[in-house]
Chain A
Amino acid sequence: MSLLRSITAATLAKDIRLEWRSRDAINSMLFFSLLVVVIFSFAFDPNAEESREIAGGLIWVAFLFAAVVALNQTWARELRNQVLDAYRVSPAPATALFVAKALGNFLLVSLLEALMAPLFMIFYNLRPLGPAWQLIPVAILGTWALVVNGTFVAAMSLRTRSREIMLPLLLFPISIPAIQSMVEATRVVLSGDGSARFWIVLLLTYDVVFTTACLALFETILQAE
C-alpha cells in the first residue's frame, strides 16, 4: 500500500511539474472555456430566470469539452519518446499510474472550474435560490466522474490512429448519466426547485461503480499492444 502511495505521489508530482513547465493543458482549457462563456452570453442574452434554467447545462458542457483537452494531453506526454514503456518494464503497479493520472486531471479541471465559475456567475447574472453548498459535492463528484472515465478512455484510445476523435466518441456516451446528474443538480440548486440530494447520491454511485471498473481494467489496457 505504501508502495502504491509513493509511486502515485511521485507520478502526480512529475505530471504537475511537467504541466507547470509547459502549461499545455491549462492554457488550452482556460481559453476554450472563456470562449464558451463569452460567445454563449452574447448569443443567447438570457434573463435571470432563463439563466438559472440553462446555466447548469452550459457550465458542465463547457467543462466537459475543456476536460477533453486535458485528458488528451495526459497520455500524449507518455507517448513522446515512448516513456510509457519505461513504466511498463518497471515493477511499479499499473494502478498507481492510473490513480496519479486521474488525480492530476482532477486537480487541473477543478482549478479550471474554480477560475471559471465566478465568470459564469457574472456573465449569466446567476444567484442560487436553493442551498448553494450542494454545488460543492456536485462539482467534486461530477468532476471525478468526468476525469476517472476520461483518463481510462484516453488510455484506451492511446494506440488508435485518431485518438483525439476516439476519446470524446467513447467518453461522452458513458458519461451521460453523470452529466445529466450534474446538470439537473445544478439547475435545481440555482432555481431553488427542491433538493439536489437525489442527484448527488446518483453521482456518488456512478463514481464508485466506474472508479472500481477502471481500476480493475487498467492493467489490461496498459499492457495491451
Chain B
Amino acid sequence: MTDSASIISLSNLIKQFGRFAALRGVTAEFAAGKFHVILGDNGAGKTTLLRALAGLAQPTRGTISILGKEPHDACRQLGYMAHPSLLYDEMSGMENLRYFARLYEISGDARCEQVIRSVRLDPGLARPVGQYSQGMRQRMSLARAILHDPEILLLDEPFSNVDVHSAQEIVGLLKEMRDAGKTIFVVTHQASLLQGVADEFIWMQAGQIVDRTADFHAGFSTVGKQ
C-alpha cells in the first residue's frame, strides 16, 4: 500500500538479534494523519518494528525514513509509549512530566498541566506514579508521549492490564488526536477496541507484514490470525 502523502517509509528492514530475525525485509509506506493498528501473534515483530521506528532498535539492514529523516533526527516529531510506563515510580505525574519537558526544552508548567488534563488526570495529584492504578499509569504514560506535541505517535500495548472503561477512554483520546491530524501507530492484541476508529490494520507474521486492510474482519479471515 503506497500513499503519496506517506510520512514513514521502510525499505527492506531487517532486524536480527543474534541468529533470530525479528524483522525480515519489511518494506512499507504509511500515510500521514491515519490511525494504523499493528496486529500479530507474540514474536511476530510488532514491538521490534515500533522500537525501530522510535530509533531504539538499530536496523541490521534496510532503511527507515520518517518525514525524510533518520528516526533519531526526527525524534521531536515522534512520541513513544512503551509497554512499561517509562515513568519514575517515586515521583508524581507532574514531577515526571516536568523532568521530561526539560528534555524537550519545554519551559514552565502550563504544557505539563495541559497534557495531564487532556488524558483526564489531575495535575495536582501528589501521589507518586508507583501508587497509580494501571489505567492512570497508562494515561500518564500517554501524557508523557504527547508532551512535546509530536506528529507521529508510536504506542505499544496502550490497553494492556487496563479495564474496559479506561481502555475506551484511551481510544477516545487517540481518536481525537487522529482527528487533529496526528499519525498514530498502535501495537495491540485488543484490536476489537479499535474497530470503527482505526484507518488501517497491519498484520504481521514471522517478522513480515503479511496483510494491510481497512477492515479488521477482512484481515482476520485472510491471515487467519488473532
In angstroms, Cα B211 to Cα A62, docked, is 61
- Asked whether B163 is an interface residue with its Cβ less than 8 Å from the other chain, the reply is no
CA distance A81 to B81 in the complex (A): 11
Q: A81-B85, A81-B86, A86-B86 are in contact. Are A91 and B75 (CB under 8 A)?
A: yes
The residues of A that contact B103 with a CB separation of less than 8 Å are 7, 10, 87, 90-92
0 or 1 for each of B157-194: is its CB under 8 Å from A? (1 = yes)? 00000000000000000000000000000000000000
Point out the residue from B75, B84, B90, B95 that lies within 8 Å of A82, measured CB to CB: B84
Complex interface: chain B residues within 8 A of A82 (CB): 82, 84, 86
**Contacts A22-B90, A81-B87, A83-B86; A88 near B55 (Cβ below 8 A):** yes
Interfacial residues of chain B within 86-143, with CB under 8 A of chain A in the complex: 86-91, 95, 99-100, 102-105
Interface size on B, residues (CB 8 A): 26
Q: Is there contact, CB below 8 Å, between A3 and B105? A: yes
Separation of A91 and B102 alpha carbons in the complex (Å) = 10
Of A14, A77, A89, A225, which is within 8 A of B58 by CB? A225
Chain B residues with Cβ under 8 A from A91's Cβ?
75-76, 103-105
Q: Which residues of B contact A225 (CB under 8 A)?
A: 56-58
Which residues of chain A have C-beta atoms less than 8 A from B91's C-beta?
14, 17-18
| Size bracket of the A interface | 20 to 34
Q: Point out which of B86, B89, B103 has the most chain A C-beta atoms below 10 A from its C-beta.
A: B103
Chain A interface helix/strand/loop/mixed: helix
**Does A85 lie at the interface of the complex (its beta carbon under 8 Å from any beta carbon of B)?**
yes
Complex alpha-carbon distance, A121 and B87, angstroms: 43
Cβ-defined contact, A10 with B82, below 8 A = no
Q: How far is the CB of B147 from chain A (nearest CB, A)?
A: 10
Most chain A beta-carbon contacts within 10 A, residue among B55, B80, B88, B95: B88
How far, in angstroms, from A85 to B88 measured CA to CA in the complex?
Answer: 12
B75 contacts A81, C-beta separation under 8 Å? no
Bound form: Cα–Cα A90–B82 in Å: 14
Question: CB within 8 A of B99: which of A14, A21, A80, A85?
Answer: A14
**Interface membership of B54, Cβ < 8 A:** yes
In the complex, chain B residues 59-86 whose Cβ is within 8 Å of any chain A Cβ: 75-76, 78, 80, 82, 84-86
A83 to B54, CA, bound (A): 14
CA–CA, A82 and B82, complex, Å: 9
The answer for the CA separation of A218 and B61 in the assembled complex, in Å, is 24
B144 at the interface (CB under 8 A from A): yes
A92 CA to B55 CA in the complex, in Å? 14
Interface members, chain A 6-22 (any B CB < 8 Å): 6-7, 10-11, 14, 17-18, 21-22
Residues of A within 8 A of B99 (CB): 10-11, 14
Residue of B with least CB distance to A82: B84
Complex CA–CA separation, A90 to B87 (angstroms): 14
- Asked if residues B75 and A90 are in contact (CB atoms below 8 Å), the reply is yes
Which residue of the partner chain A has the closest CB to B15? A225
- State which residues 85-135 of A face B: CB under 8 Å: 85-92
Query: How far, in whole Å, are A16 and B82 apart by their CA atoms in the complex?
Result: 26
Rounded to whole angstroms, the CA-CA distance of A10 and B88 in the bound complex is 14
A88 neighbours in B (Cβ, 8 Å): 55-56
Assembly CA distance A17 to B96 (angstroms): 11
How far, in angstroms, from A194 to B119 measured CA to CA in the complex?
67
- Per-residue interface assignment for chain B, residues 29 to 67, with 1 indicating a CB less than 8 Å from any chain A CB and 0 otherwise: 000000000000000000000000011111000000000
Residue contact A81 to B58, C-beta cutoff 8 Å: no
B119 → A minimal CB distance (Å): 16
Q: Which of A6, A90, A225 has its CB near the most chain B CB atoms (within 10 A)?
A: A90
Within the assembled complex, what's the spacing in Å between the Cα atoms of A10 and B78?
22
Q: Which residues of A contact B (CB under 8 A)?
A: 3, 6-7, 10-11, 14, 17-18, 21-22, 77, 80-83, 85-92, 223, 225
Q: Could you pull out 10 A-B pairs where Cβ atoms are within 8 angstroms? A: A7-B102, A10-B99, A18-B91, A22-B90, A81-B86, A81-B88, A83-B88, A85-B86, A89-B56, A225-B57
Nearest first, the 8 A-B pairs at minimum CB distance are A10-B102, A86-B86, A92-B103, A90-B103, A81-B84, A82-B84, A81-B85, A89-B80
A82-B84, A90-B104, A91-B105 are known contacts; what are 7 more A-B pairs with Cβ within 8 Å? Answer: A3-B105, A14-B91, A80-B89, A85-B82, A88-B56, A89-B54, A90-B75
